[in-house]
Amino acid sequence: MAASTGRADDLRMAMSLSKRWISGFAFVFLSALLVVTASERVYWYVGGVSLDSILGIAIFYMIPTLAGLWALGSGPSIRLHQVVLAGAIFGFVVEGVLTAVVYEDGVLPIMAALFVGWHGLLSVVAFWYLTRRWLLARRRRSLVIGSAAVGLLWGIWSIVYTLPEASEGFEAGFTTMDPGGFAIYALVVGLAFAAAHYLIGYVWPKQFQPGKWGSRGIVMLLAAYAATAVLPAVPWAPIKFAILVGGSLWLLRRSREAGPEEPSAIAALQGHVRLRDVVLLLVMPVVSATAYSVVWSMELSTAAVEAIFTTVSLLTVLAGLSAFGWAARCSLRRPAGSRHAQASSSQRAIST
């Protein structure tokens, strides 16, 4: 009888563990799908609308997404500047582990700033964090305005792929999308984005703290991938990568030591969202398709389209530099409330 009870307990434990693993995998995958819609599908429409262009690359992006979630969930307290730093780590892993693009400017931080602006601010801060936060708080006005703003940027930016040189370096068969094709593409990407935000609430964990062995596993996974994808082309890559990621992690740790303890971003964003609110996210592809159609009809010259590319790229670099600088200052500044609390604690300890 005791043996039968023991086997039943073992079975229940195994089922519970399997459920947590499946739920954790789904959470990381859906998070990756959310950031992919910005990092890849909003960035370019190369590959068109296909299962591989959205879902397949989301699996590939689970590696940097896991690193970003680990940075967010590894300690208490959640502030916007901490999400910016976690987004920076995500961007550095995407372009410094999956590819070697972040090393193309040598010791300069220009490419790093570009990816903080694009991968960090757009993908992690806007598409993952702020959208989730506004959905949970039912801030419908913010959702509509934010979706429209991103849609406008998306539609204008995508016109750069009408340039003749845009197809260089891509696979054979790349063609510039006309407004009708782009509208279908934008709608499919928007539906994937909205569906991921609706579904992720069902697998959102109470916490995401891999622990010592989990952290070591993440580091080993990144190192193993970089050893084959980056090191053969850029042997000195670990030096720059260590400075970028190590500095961001130090600022995150410093921020949590200086600030008040609060739930992590993972715990703070747990919950289900309403379908009627998620539908508002489709404003983004509608505005995007409209903007693309308007700019397409203007028949801009090559010089004008190149000016759009240069302007958006420079603004992204400036946004990345400004955001990272702001996040660093916030992390290094000890809040007055924290000093007061520390002083009060010290006085109580002395009196005791």
CB neighbours of residue 4 within 10 Å: 8
Q: How far is CA 285 from CA 7, 51, 291, 292, in A?
A: 53, 18, 10, 10
Q: 194 lies in which domain range?
A: 26-165+172-333
Q: What's the number of domains the chain is made of?
A: 1
Q: Is residue 342, in this structure, part of any structural domain at all?
A: no
Where would I find the H helices in 126-210? 131-137, 140-157, 179-199
Q: What is the pLDDT of residue 349?
A: 33
Distance CA 160, CA 304 (A): 10
Q: Is residue 40, in this structure, part of any structural domain at all?
A: yes
Q: What is the pLDDT of residue 319?
A: 97
Q: Is residue 260, in this structure, part of any structural domain at all?
A: yes
- Placement of tokens 């506004």 in the chain: 134
Q: Is residue 352, in this structure, part of any structural domain at all?
A: no
Q: What is the pLDDT of residue 45?
A: 83
Residues 87, 116 contacting (CB under 8 angstroms): yes
Q: What is the pLDDT of residue 343?
A: 39
Distance CA 37, CA 53 (A): 10
Q: Is residue 280, in this structure, part of any structural domain at all?
A: yes
Q: What is the pLDDT of residue 75?
A: 65
Q: What is the pLDDT of residue 15?
A: 54
Q: What is the pLDDT of residue 347?
A: 39
The whole-number mean pLDDT for each consecutive block of 10 residues of the chain, a chain of 352 residues, reads: 55 60 89 94 80 80 89 76 94 92 92 95 96 96 97 95 70 77 94 95 82 72 83 91 94 77 78 95 98 95 94 96 96 60 37 34
